[in-house]
Structure 1
């Protein structure tokens, strides 16, 4: 009974404890499973702007779109540097939209239904609409737009097209709202007559003056001993300049070079040597390249200057079947074979009809359709008409398939080789990565010798044996590290310590490391002084890093910028000494010549200097000096002026005033346009500066 009574009395407390422990266990399990923490915030958010979270999934969708657009428009390979650029651009666009939309919503700016209709199908549609629907003359075709809008209303309309059009219209509306906001801002700007008069004088009023200068370089750096007070004075005077817009970190690292050894080089060259006889004898050079070469390049005719220099100098005078190599080029051993040479046109004018095998039901059906179109053209149907109706390349299709005149190498290899090999006027079909092309060469211009060269390459890479040996050294170095012996161990191993200063969380490369993304991600998750818990493989280097500095977002403390500002502090201290020297020379002096004589400097006369271009000839821009000139009275000695190159004393001779400004309309218009153009960027900068932005990209990208 005693035990049961005890349990009854305390059952509430016991249940509370049991439930609490269970909840705590559940929470801990979620934290471990998701990798997040209640104290670190939501791990699914890549950022936050004024309390509005940016989900990683949404941002990544936008990033994927930007990446695909870049690839389509540029055709470039995505290097770590390009990826970093795309990420940064996409992030800034995302921030801009969030900040502007918040201001737009606050002001209640909308785009009404009638305005949307007018923007799409009114008398003067939005420029983006007009660019999408152009006729054969390259001008906006209203009939084409109306035909497309009618199609969207029919049961035959493709669901994906409807969705894409809806997204496009949403983008138009969003852009229109932003345009209205910017118009409100720019309409509030005003340039008055006094502004115009000041600008006119700044550009046309001339000053004639003399100056004498004591260069900062006249005092050796070794003679300047900087004190804590010197640093503090400079820091306090320039504190706003040390505002960090984003967190920056620095790290030190040592690297172990895993470049190919002599044995590796010999082994790769031996591989290429063994291919020589077979390469010379093969009846199918293209297949041989596809099987044996690291680079699966299509074999095409090339003109002089398109081959790499080593081949360019020998292939145009060699006989068919000639083999050059093995030779080392761009990190690979190569052998090259001259397959053929001929005389061909330098440029061609061509047109095409491009078909998409996917939408045509497969490659065979696309080829069959191309053949049908070819027969129609041969039977008298206009090429241009069929191009407009059937080509998926709308840019050329609307111009009758016209691709213009282009030189060899301007198009993708398969198409390029086809059009430069085709006789004028013939209708031909070729397949490329873009689809099936029915093409016709309309004109051929010029002629020169071209060659078709097959190249087999084997990259010179370190063997697994070499990599393992170097990795073992790096791993051994890592295991020898403690919290305070990084420098000592590097010195013991005769390894130079390299520095990566002020790295952002999204940096893809740093000094000496082209693809350092994984290292940067580790650095931004670690504490100052920590060394990496793993060996990072970066190209042919094995890297071990240590976090050497953290600069948080916001105004940086003096300690964080002390090294950075040291040259400027030294200049300021020199300036004080040189100013004192000039001040002593000014005492009792009545002319600038007397000042220069006392100070041991010389006098230089200057004429026709304008306020808008404050450059001292033979020196640099000296804003303080020229500003002082235009605020001076004639024949008055100035106080010492600490400029960019040294400390100056000036004496104004005279001003030459321009003709009276009688009509300031043009001046006001010019100033107003410049002000309007600057304002849009400045508005965005002001919104970003005011916003509370949390950037977590370093954890995700």
Structure 2
């Protein structure tokens, strides 16, 4: 198909790809790390990376551009979740570009002209070039299409928008190539030696057999343990690194007032749907009726014949056993009352083999001229001219043109509706001219296989929404609560009104949704501008609820203070105190004992035998992971009673019966390769984490977005 048409239809894909090209592959699923307090930064800076500021204006332009391209590509309005996704992807792009550019420039890495040319048009083009210049119907790379486009870009003026977009794509390919070179330098420095291979082999294959006794922490009731400030401080000091908060987090408590549709609202909408059903039965123009009355844009798309199993379950059986003109509904589905009509029913082929010649109206001077050319080609074919020869000469779908226009066999749903309608309703040998978003097609039906019943169903809908009266009643309740509540009596007033107080823990500054609350962005933004203990002065509209929040906790970025994590670490601290008591008890039993059975008898428990445990999988059967215990086992001599080992679930003593050594390692090369592959899989994430820590990334987006 024509290059300009191709790009207008595919440029969305290209530009969405551009967003990701500058990113490491390994940060695609990484949660973005946020910066300092909400109040940090200035009014024009959305973030800083390695001291380089990212202005809000520049960042917002990128976000708006990427949102527009995403919307064009997927043909839908962006939900708050998708907006957040695009914003985070744009942020990741900015951060990675700055970090990588500094590293690449420092090392003097470049991509030469020959390398660039090879990435675009060499024997093995970059995967992004292949992906974006592939025939959409065959999936095959179309080199002719690429060459035609490159020629057009060479002659285009510098201010041409398409040329500028192409330059952006090429620049991103070069950046990606530099990134690959940078990573390759680091990866090539990773090395696994024979000793590493031997240690790994033994850790996975050497078996330990031992017996142990255990005193579980649960044997001491929690209320019998007194925790001191010193206990908490000692644990906190030893594990301080675990309390590093990468981003500021805030915790809310909130009450909500339900404004969901009432029974009366549902009945009123059902009545509207009943009227739609009656009118749908008598309308002389089903297509126009749907265009006027359908709310969901998907129902306004051109109708196509569907086979059994392609309709939603409520319709599938009904429509395949009904007569043309049958109206079903109203029925409730996906939050809407719907009415569906069987517009047509027929028996058609399951698959079709066809070929086509695609004519681009933009290259022929308009749609009418494109249709006229298709009609002329049709007459030539009917007069004896070979279809394949004309396809190779005239079709702008170069991928299929090289094969004489052949598209092979395809089933229902594989082609655009207009193309599919012509291919499946025509007869073998027919020549048909149809128009789609790709241009004008001259189709020849070469073969049809199978036969099954298919139906064409039209649907109109009425979303189930709350009435103004229902919304007003819920809003009034929220206002009554606000007038009575303050930061001190929030929970008491909620209890008085029979409201459940819910908690949203550790919310980040860019959160869009909270547990049970979709699109709560305004509420989150309020919380990141409020002081601890503040109660909102208004009810936030979140979906079909009015929500009144209170900010109850702020966890700043950095090492969290002891008072913030005290509740979190209390179970671990309590177990440490219990461990001291149980260790003393177990040590007393070990003193003078000559066997593990004597130890068990003294402490009133039983001996547990364990067989075939490996160091690489430190699981105590029927208990859980016990790293300290299994590590101690593999560091012990057989037939020697151990000292008390303080584990995750209790205190242990053991004796090793013996070890079973594996057969000698005969293929150290393969073992090294396996370890090396695992090392490489971790390396990319660890590289970027290190670079990001060094870059001191600061994210102030919460106060802008």
The TM-score with structure 1 as length reference comes to: 0.84
Per the alignment, residue 203 of structure 1 pairs with: 204
Distance 1:276 1:379 in 2: 51
Q: Deviations over 1:38-95 (max 9, x none)?
A: x964423221112211123433444456556666777787443343334333322321
Which residues of 2 match residues 122-201 of structure 1 at below 5 A? Answer: 126=126, 128=128, 152-154=153-155, 159-201=160-202
Per the alignment, residue 303 of structure 1 pairs with: 307
Find the residue that maps to 2:652 and give its secondary structure.
Answer: strand
Find the residue that maps to 2:616 and give its secondary structure.
Answer: coil
Per the alignment, residue 104 of structure 1 pairs with: 104
Q: Is the 8 A contact 2:140 2:399 kept in 1?
A: no
Distance 2:571 2:697 in 1: 32
Per the alignment, residue 44 of structure 1 pairs with: 44
Find the residue that maps to 1:489 and give its secondary structure.
Answer: helix
Which residues of 2 match residues 552-563 of structure 1 at below 5 A? Answer: 552-563=556-567
Between 158-167 and 480-489, the greater mean CA deviation after superposition: 158-167
Q: CA shift at 1:594, angstroms?
A: 1.9
Query: Do structure 1's residue 660 and structure 2's residue 664 form an aligned pair?
Result: yes
Distance 1:140 1:689 in 2: 41
Query: Do structure 1's residue 256 and structure 2's residue 257 form an aligned pair?
Result: yes
Q: Is the 8 A contact 2:138 2:407 kept in 1?
A: no
Per the alignment, residue 15 of structure 1 pairs with: none
Q: CA shift at 1:378, angstroms?
A: 4.7
Which residues of 2 match residues 230-269 of structure 1 at below 5 A? Answer: 230-269=231-270
Q: Is the 8 A contact 2:50 2:694 kept in 1?
A: no
Distance 1:526 1:613 in 2: 47
RMSD: 3.5
Query: Do structure 1's residue 330 and structure 2's residue 334 form an aligned pair?
Result: yes
Q: CA shift at 1:245, angstroms?
A: 1.1
Q: Is the 8 A contact 1:151 1:157 kept in 2?
A: no
**2:597 is matched with which residue: 586, 593, 600?**
593
Distance 1:447 1:49 in 2: 62
Q: Is the 8 A contact 1:252 1:497 kept in 2?
A: yes
**1:464 is matched with which residue: 463, 468, 471?**
468
Q: Deviations over 1:523-545 (max 9, x none)?
A: 11222122223321111111111
Distance 1:396 1:122 in 2: 22
Per the alignment, residue 493 of structure 1 pairs with: 497
Per the alignment, residue 615 of structure 1 pairs with: 619
Q: Are residues 330 and 121 of structure 1, via their aligned partners in 2, closer, same or farther at CA, if it must alter by over 3 Å?
A: closer
Q: Are residues 192 and 289 of structure 1, via their aligned partners in 2, closer, same or farther at CA, if it must alter by over 3 Å?
A: same
Find the residue that maps to 1:667 and give its secondary structure.
Answer: helix
Find the residue that maps to 1:317 and give its secondary structure.
Answer: coil
Per the alignment, residue 569 of structure 1 pairs with: 573
Between 275-284 and 688-697, the greater mean CA deviation after superposition: 275-284
Q: Are residues 279 and 173 of structure 1, via their aligned partners in 2, closer, same or farther at CA, if it must alter by over 3 Å?
A: closer
Distance 2:579 2:398 in 1: 66
Q: CA shift at 1:685, angstroms?
A: 0.6
**1:689 is matched with which residue: 693, 698, 702?**
693
Q: Is the 8 A contact 1:341 1:451 kept in 2?
A: yes
Distance 2:398 2:224 in 1: 71
Q: CA shift at 1:500, angstroms?
A: 0.9
Per the alignment, residue 477 of structure 2 pairs with: 473
Determine which structure has more spread, i.e. the larger CA radius of gyration.
1
Distance 2:392 2:62 in 1: 32
Find the residue that maps to 2:620 and give its secondary structure.
Answer: coil
Which residues of 2 match residues 55-70 of structure 1 at below 5 A? Answer: 55-64=55-64, 66-67=66-67
Distance 1:404 1:581 in 2: 79
Q: Deviations over 1:546-596 (max 9, x none)?
A: 211111111111222233333433444444444333223222222222222
Q: Is the 8 A contact 2:138 2:400 kept in 1?
A: no
Q: Are residues 490 and 600 of structure 1, via their aligned partners in 2, closer, same or farther at CA, if it must alter by over 3 Å?
A: same
Between 524-533 and 109-118, the greater mean CA deviation after superposition: 109-118
Q: Is the 8 A contact 1:137 1:399 kept in 2?
A: no
Distance 1:157 1:565 in 2: 62
Distance 1:313 1:442 in 2: 32
Between 293-302 and 541-550, the greater mean CA deviation after superposition: 293-302
Find the residue that maps to 2:624 and give its secondary structure.
Answer: coil
Distance 2:539 2:652 in 1: 55
Between 251-260 and 154-163, the greater mean CA deviation after superposition: 154-163
Q: CA shift at 1:216, angstroms?
A: 3.8
Q: Are residues 291 and 207 of structure 1, via their aligned partners in 2, closer, same or farther at CA, if it must alter by over 3 Å?
A: same
Which residues of 2 match residues 230-629 of structure 1 at below 5 A? Answer: 230-296=231-297, 297=299, 298=301, 299-352=303-356, 363-372=367-376, 374-375=378-379, 378=382, 405-411=409-415, 413=417, 415-432=419-436, 436-629=440-633
Q: Is the 8 A contact 1:138 1:399 kept in 2?
A: no
Q: Deviations over 1:378-423 (max 9, x none)?
A: 5566666666776666766666656555443455555555544343
Q: Are residues 624 and 281 of structure 1, via their aligned partners in 2, closer, same or farther at CA, if it must alter by over 3 Å?
A: same
Q: Is the 8 A contact 2:40 2:700 kept in 1?
A: no
Find the residue that maps to 1:313 and give its secondary structure.
Answer: helix
Unpaired stretches in structure 2, ≥5 consecutive residues? 1-38
Count of aligned pairs between the two proteins: 663
Q: Are residues 333 and 163 of structure 1, via their aligned partners in 2, closer, same or farther at CA, if it must alter by over 3 Å?
A: closer
Unpaired stretches in structure 1, ≥5 consecutive residues? 1-38
Distance 1:314 1:142 in 2: 48
Distance 1:118 1:40 in 2: 46
Between 287-296 and 568-577, the greater mean CA deviation after superposition: 568-577
Q: CA shift at 1:225, angstroms?
A: 5.0
Q: Are residues 519 and 141 of structure 1, via their aligned partners in 2, closer, same or farther at CA, if it must alter by over 3 Å?
A: closer
Q: Is the 8 A contact 1:134 1:398 kept in 2?
A: no
Between 511-520 and 318-327, the greater mean CA deviation after superposition: 318-327
Q: Is the 8 A contact 2:134 2:399 kept in 1?
A: no
Q: CA shift at 1:616, angstroms?
A: 2.8
Q: CA shift at 1:283, angstroms?
A: 1.9
Per the alignment, residue 23 of structure 2 pairs with: none
Q: Are residues 181 and 274 of structure 1, via their aligned partners in 2, closer, same or farther at CA, if it must alter by over 3 Å?
A: closer
Q: Is the 8 A contact 1:429 1:438 kept in 2?
A: yes
The TM-score with structure 2 as length reference comes to: 0.84
Between 193-202 and 564-573, the greater mean CA deviation after superposition: 564-573
Q: Deviations over 1:277-299 (max 9, x none)?
A: 32222222222222223235143
Q: Is the 8 A contact 2:144 2:398 kept in 1?
A: no
Q: Deviations over 1:95-145 (max 9, x none)?
A: 122112112222222334455456556676655556667899998888886
Q: CA shift at 1:487, angstroms?
A: 2.1
Q: Is the 8 A contact 1:357 1:435 kept in 2?
A: yes
Distance 2:546 2:466 in 1: 13
Distance 1:58 1:115 in 2: 30
